[in-house]
Structure formats: C-alpha cells, structure tokens
Amino acid sequence: MSIESHLAELERRHAALETKIKEATLHPSSDSLAIAEMKRRKLQLKDEISRLRNGATLH
C-alpha cells in the first residue's frame, strides 16, 4: 500500500469518526464513555496522518 493510499484511508476513517461523534452527541442517551473513546481514536488517527505527512515531506 502506498503512503498516499494509506493517508486517504486514514482520512476516510477520521471523517467517519467525526460523523459518528456528531451523531452521538445529538442524542441525550449517548454513552459518554463511547464518545470519549471515539474522540481518542480520532485524535490517534489525526496524529498518525500528521506523522505520515511530515515523514513524506522529509524524504
């Protein structure tokens, strides 16, 4: 898998998590721990995207 395709997949997952988080926060019965876990995973994806982009520009 090329770096570009890997980045595209990570960005797709990041956007999907963002959508899920927004939907979950609209419902008062949402599980706050599940939302926190989704936010943590979204941040991990963002960090990995940044790391790959920075690494790609250094080479």
pLDDT at 56: 66
Burial class (CB in 10 A: 0-12, 13-18, 19+), 20: middle
Higher pLDDT residue, 38 or 59?
Answer: 38
Domains of the chain, residue spans: 3-58
pLDDT at 28: 85
What are the pLDDT digits (tens) for 3-58?
Answer: 899 999 999 999 999 999 999 999 888 899 999 999 999 999 999 999 999 986 66
